[in-house]
A = this chain, B = another copy of it.
Amino acid sequence: MYKEKEELPAVTGDFYEQSEKMYVATDCIIFGFDSGNLKLLLFKRRVAPLEGEWSLIGSFVKLDEDVSAAAERVLEEITGLKNVFMEELKVYGAANRDPGYRCISVGQYALIRLKDYDKELVEHHGAVWHDVKELPSLVLDHEQMVEDALEKLKQKARYQPLGFELLPEKFTIPQLQSVYEAIFQKELDTRNFRKKVFSHNVLVKLDEKDKSGSKRGAFFYMFDQKRYKKLVEKGNDFEVF
C-alpha cells in the first residue's frame, strides 16, 4: 500500500490526504429455507431513483466500524438476529457500479432460521422473502451478487455443515435432505444421504417425532456442535456431503 518515499505525507489526522476516498458499502445476501425452497430476503425501494425496484439489503460502512460489523448491524437492523452464520462473498469494485458516487460493496451472505427472525421488523423495512427460483430483477449488480452467493453456497456446503444453519435446532432427516437438495439443485438418494450424515456422528437423535410432514412422523435430531468442532480440530477435513 506504500510505494515510494515521495508518496508518504507527514503524519497528520489523515495520513493519506492526497489520495482519493470513496464509499464502502456492504450488501447482505440473506438466505432462508422454507417448504422445500431456498428463500432470499429482498427489500423494495419505495423512492426514486430506481423506485419500486428490488434490492439486497445493505448499508454504508461507517468510519469507525469494521466491515464485518457493518454487515452484522444491517442484518440485525432488519431481522433482529445476531450471531448468525455470515461470511464474506466477494468485493464488488467496478468503478461504475454505482451511479450515485464511487462506492465499492462487500457482498456478505448469511444463512438464517426462518422461525427466528423478527417479522414485524422485516415488514417495517418493507422486506419480503422471495423464492430463489423466482427472483425479480435487482438494482445495480445485485443479481450478480445473488448468483455468486448461490454458487458459493453450493461449493461450501460440501465441506462445511451449513445446512443446519437454515433449519430450527430440532429438525428431521427428511428436512435436512430437503435443504441440501435445494442448495445443490438436485435430488439426493435417501439411503445414501442418511448413511453419509450419520457417518460423522454429529447428529443426536431425540425421542420426539415431527408429525407435521407425515402420518408416521419423523424423528427429530439435533446437530452436535462440540463433536463437529472436535472433528475439525483433529484435522478431519471430511466432506459433509
A111 within 8 A of B: no
A219 within 8 A of B: no
Q: Which one of B65, B88, B93 contacts A67 once the chains associate, using CB atoms below 8 Å?
A: B93
Q: In the complex, what residues of B have CB within 8 A of residue A20's CB?
A: 23, 60-63
Interface residues on A, range: 35 or more
**Is the beta-carbon distance between B103 and A16 smaller than 8 angstroms?**
yes
Selecting from A7-15, A175-183, A210-218, A227-235, the interface stretch reads: A7-15
Q: In the complex, what residues of B have CB within 8 A of residue A152's CB?
A: none
A46–B60 Cα distance when bound, in Å, is 35
Q: Which one of B22, B25, B59, B91 contacts A63 once the chains associate, using CB atoms below 8 Å?
A: B22
A191 within 8 A of B: no
Expressed in whole angstroms, the minimum distance between the Cβ of A124 and any Cβ of chain B is: 10
User: Oligomeric state, in number of copies?
Assistant: 2
Tell me the interface secondary structure of chain A in the complex: loop
A134 within 8 A of B: no
A88–B21 Cα distance when bound, in Å, is 21
**Is the beta-carbon distance between A125 and B3 smaller than 8 angstroms?**
yes
Q: Which residue of B lies closest to A107 (CB)?
A: B91
Expressed in whole angstroms, the minimum distance between the Cβ of A82 and any Cβ of chain B is: 19
A119 within 8 A of B: no
Which A39-72 residues have C-beta < 8 A from chain B?
43, 45-47, 49-50, 55-69
**Is the beta-carbon distance between B105 and A93 smaller than 8 angstroms?**
no
The digit string for A92-118, where 1 denotes a CB below 8 A from any CB of B, is 011100111111111000000000000
**Is the beta-carbon distance between B16 and A100 smaller than 8 angstroms?**
yes
Q: In the complex, what residues of B have CB within 8 A of residue A91's CB?
A: 67, 88, 91, 106
